Amino acid sequence: EVQLVESGGGLVQPGGSLRLSCAASGFTFSSFWMHWVRQAPGKGLVWVSRINSDGSSTTYADSVKGRFTISRDNAKNTLYLQMNSLRAEDTAVYYCARKLDPMDSWGQGTLVSVSS
Amino acid sequence: SYVLTQPPSVSVAPGKTARITCGGNNIGSKSIHWYQQKPGQAPVLVIYHDSDRPSGIPERLSGSNSGNTATLTISRVEAGDEGDYYCQVWDTSSDPPYVFGSGTKVTVL
């Protein structure tokens, strides 16, 4: 069974940093592109970033470009999102999702709150 | 960037048919996916590549895509179908390359 488990969310002050993790199991993690998608409270889904299977290619939404970094450790079956210079508008549940297209499996999400 | 337009809400009586639209410029030329999200839960892929169903998704859910509108149809609606439904496209010529519709809340009366 495919499982994706996010962690690392929490409350952080504006300008602060957080690193999210997504632990994968039940499939060959190193064979799949992976994504981060976020959802602000009461709002819709917004794609944030993606990374290819070996980590050599990454893409970002303009809203996070230069502040967020996606990476992966295939030996640890884990996806990461390093978030720097956080803003109030980054407050959201962050989901990791599997596969280039469509996103066929999702984690349960981790909440990031940016507030002073 | 490419824009997908969905109605905010759709209400339907149990046993009836719900149709959720997703509008976009020449959307029929693109491959559309649909996700269901129940309150407090993660999204679940219910239709991919316009009309294919992942394993475990009931045949009551179907999809179509033509012209400027893609449609998710839920037949014989049940109380368990309540939730938010999002359409999504991967457009390699768009920035961002992955776009979600704004979501449609389905209410079972």
Provide the pLDDT confidence category of residue A111 given band limits of 50, 70 and 90: very high
Q: Is the pLDDT of residue A92 over 90?
A: yes
**Consecutive H or E run containing A10:** strand A10-12
Contact B86 A44 (CB under 8 A): yes
pLDDT digits 0-9 by tens, B78-107: 999 999 999 999 998 888 999 999 999 999
Provide the pLDDT for residue A87. 98
Provide the pLDDT for residue B94. 87
- CB of B70 within 8 A of CB of A35? no
Provide the pLDDT for residue B95. 85
Instruction: Sort out which chain B residues have CB atoms less than 8 A from A45's CB and list them.
Output: 35, 37, 43, 86, 88, 100, 103
- CB of B27 within 8 A of CB of B38? no
Q: Give dist(CA B108, CA A71) in Å, integer.
A: 41
- CB of A67 within 8 A of CB of A84? yes
Give the mean pLDDT of chain B. 97
